[in-house]
Amino acid sequence: MVTPLIKAQNLTKVFSDSNETQFKALDGVSFEVHEKEIVGLCGSSGSGKTTLLGIIGCLETANSGSLELFGRNVDKLNDFELSEIRLSTSGLFFRSIT
């Protein structure tokens, strides 16, 4: 079986505001991306696209679920190890409209 470049299983991400009110930005997201695939991520504003890309790009971590990049599980990596993954495997370009 071919190892996926990205394998996300049941990822969840919860944000809390200053009143401790919790908001579930990702609610059990699972998918795979394989070599040579070109993938677009679509959804309405606030649906969690940037949150998901931040987790895949190792800029932040999920609250639960599992993420494998290039066959390596990254769930328990520390900040230094995550920065090594960012350096060697992924690139994110952000655009903002001000």
Ligand X SMILES: Nc1ncnc2c1ncn2[C@@H]1O[C@H](COP(=O)(O)OP(=O)(O)OP(=O)(O)O)[C@@H](O)[C@H]1O
Residues of this chain, 20-49, that bind Mg ion according to CB under 5 A: 49
Q: Is 50 in the site for Mg ion (CB under 5 A)?
A: yes
Task: Tell me how far apart the alpha carbons of residues 27 and 33 are, in angstroms, rounded to a whole number.
Answer: 19
Rounded to whole angstroms, the Cα distance separating 79 from 22 reads: 24
- From the list Mg ion, ligand X, none, pick the one residue 51 interacts with, judged by a Cβ distance below 5 to 8 Å according to partner type: ligand X
Q: How far is the CB of 17 from ligand X (least distance, A)?
A: 6
List residues near ligand X by CB under 6 A. 15, 23, 25, 43, 45-51
SS3 content of the chain, % helix, strand, coil (to 5): 20, 30, 50
Interface residues toward Mg ion, by CB under 5 A: 49-50
